[in-house]
Each structure stands twice: as structure tokens, then as C-alpha cells.
């Protein structure tokens, strides 16, 4: 019953976590940092998403940008809040909470952390491949991620399903991941990573041919050992006209 005494209420810590998906033309990667033990820099801990506890004077969006910058050096990323994770199981592993208490030099123990997760989809260009080293920030192919701290593997799974939603309902953001001109192979590989399944090559080409907003160009790859593949382009205008909208 609502309104009973305060004994069952909880004042959790609140954090932000950033899931950055980056495509470098070959692999779909994810931005990770290391859990650093400041008292023992040799002590190897897990990798994790760039994230941290919020400060009392900052809003959630501000906090996400600050934390991403402090841990990886990246700025001006269009972070989209996509989901809060607040299960009490998030802090099940005492290794993670102990690390966090040491990291922030907390005098009290951490019980529960509600985290607000942000995501972004970016092309890993020259600028975004320069990461700061203090927390060993790196882009790792999604398939090589392994076990992460806290529930960060689960957060990534949610972010991927969120990305699937984009692909299906709002592909404009999704096509921003790709270079302006891309091959059918690049597109198929992206789909395969995002949906974690293989697509039949011939069917995939047939489907592309039906999507009249994916325009085949009269340009082909250059200087490749294999047969040069055709380039395609996403046409935003045609896509927007596909479904007649009232707005």
C-alpha cells in the first residue's frame, strides 16, 4: 500500500551509461573502457560501458556527455536516452560495487544503482577513432565484447533491439552509420550483426532491389582483389515519400 512508512523506500545511486555503436566500414563496434583500480593499476578488472554516477548539480543529459568525455575524450555525440535499468540485481556482483566504492572513494557501501542508458550510432571516422588512454577506451567489434561489468552485456542487448527498431521504423538514422556510398556486402554485414543471423546473399540482393530508396550507382569499388562491387546510396527523399503521411 502506498504511503506506508519510509522503511521500504530506497535512495539508490543514479548513474548514466553510454552505448556507442560505431561502424568503420567493416565491423560494427562498441565503445568500451576498463574498470581501473586506482590503488593498484596492475589489477586487471572487467571492461565496461563508459558510464559513471551523476553529480548533484547536473541533469541526466549533461551527465551523460560529461562522463563520455571524461572516460573516452569524445565530444559532440548525439546521445539518445533509451532506457533506465534499475533492477536490484544490477549490483549482484560485489566485485563491481567494491570497485565503484574505491573508484569514488565512498565512505558508505553501494546498495542499488539505477542507471539511465544512452545510445548513439556513429561512423568511426578519423576524429572518432582518437580516444583517450586513461581508462583504456577502445572500439571493440560487438562479437568480441565478452563479459562486462554490472549488467552492461544486458544493456547492450537492449540497445541492439533499440537499434533494430530504428532499422525497421526509422532507417534514416541507421543509414547514417554507413558511408555515403556503400556496397551490398557492407549493408548485409551490418544487418547480420544487428540481427545476429546470416542472410542469404541472393535473397538479400532481391530485397535491396525492392527497396526503391536504396539507389544502385554506376560506380564500383576500385583497387580490390575480388570482383569490384557496386556502390549504393540511401535516398532519404524517396524513403520519406514511401508512406504518405498526414504530417
Residues lying near a copy of itself in the complex (CB under 8 A): 1-6, 8-14, 38, 52-57, 59-60, 67, 70-71, 81, 83-88, 103-107, 112, 114, 116, 164, 167-170, 191, 195, 199, 204, 207-208, 210-211, 239, 242-247
Query: What is the smallest separation between the CB atom of 178 and a copy of itself, expressed in angstroms?
Result: 14
SS (H, E, C) 135-202: CCCEEEEHHHCCCECCCHHHHHHHHHHHHHHHHHHCHHHHHCCCCCCEEHHHHHHHHHHHHCCCCCHH
Query: What is the smallest separation between the CB atom of 218 and a copy of itself, expressed in angstroms?
Result: 23
Query: What is the smallest separation between the CB atom of 106 and a copy of itself, expressed in angstroms?
Result: 5
Closest to 119 (Cα-Cα) out of 87, 166, 169, 151:
166
Nearer to a copy of itself, 38 or 130 (CB): 38
d(CA 80, CA 103): 27
Query: What is the smallest separation between the CB atom of 182 and a copy of itself, expressed in angstroms?
Result: 14
Nearer to a copy of itself, 22 or 50 (CB): 50
- Quick one: residue 112, left, alpha or beta (phi over 0 = left, psi -120 to 50 = alpha)? beta
Nearer to a copy of itself, 125 or 200 (CB): 200
- Please count the other Cβ atoms lying within 10 Å of the Cβ belonging to residue 243: 6
Nearer to a copy of itself, 35 or 77 (CB): 35
Query: What is the smallest separation between the CB atom of 11 and a copy of itself, expressed in angstroms?
Result: 4
Nearer to a copy of itself, 138 or 239 (CB): 239
Backbone angles phi, psi at 214, to 5 degrees: -105, 105
Amino acid at each position: 500500500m502506498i504511503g506506508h512508512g519510509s522503511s521500504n523506500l530506497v535512495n539508490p545511486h543514479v548513474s548514466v551509461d553510454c552505448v556507442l555503436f560505431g561502424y568503420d566500414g567493416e565491423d560494427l563496434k562498441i565503445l568500451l573502457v576498463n574498470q581501473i583500480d586506482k590503488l593498484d593499476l596492475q589489477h586487471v578488472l572487467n571492461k565496461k560501458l563508459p558510464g559513471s554516477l551523476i553529480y548533484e548539480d547536473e541533469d541526466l543529459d549533461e551527465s551523460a556527455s560529461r562522463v563520455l568525455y571524461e572516460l573516452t575524450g569524445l565530444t559532440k555525440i548525439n546521445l539518445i536516452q533509451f532506457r533506465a535499468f534499475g533492477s536490484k540485481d544490477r549490483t549482484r556482483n560485489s566485485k563491481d560495487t567494491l570497485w565503484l566504492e574505491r573508484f569514488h572513494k565512498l565512505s558508505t557501501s553501494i546498495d542499488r544503482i539505477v542507471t539511465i542508458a544512452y545510445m548513439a550510432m556513429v561512423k568511426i571516422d578519423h576524429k572518432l577513432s582518437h580516444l583517450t588512454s586513461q581508462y583504456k577506451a577502445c572500439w571493440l567489434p560487438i562479437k568480441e565484447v565478452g563479459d562486462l561489468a554490472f549488467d552492461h552485456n544486458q544493456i547492450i542487448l537492449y540497445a541492439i533491439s533499440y537499434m533494430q527498431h530504428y532499422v525497421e521504423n526509422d532507417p534514416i538514422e541507421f543509414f547514417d552509420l554507413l558511408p555515403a556510398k556503400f556496397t551490398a556486402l557492407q549493408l548485409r554485414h551490418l544487418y547480420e550483426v544487428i540481427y545476429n543471423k546470416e542472410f542469404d546473399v541472393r535473397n538479400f540482393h532481391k530485397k535491396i532491389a525492392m527497396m526503391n530508396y536504396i539507389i544502385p550507382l554506376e560506380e564500383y569499388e576500385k583497387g580490390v582483389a575480388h570482383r569490384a562491387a557496386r556502390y549504393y546510396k540511401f535516398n532519404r527523399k524517396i524513403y520519406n515519400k514511401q508512406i504518405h503521411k498526414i504530417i
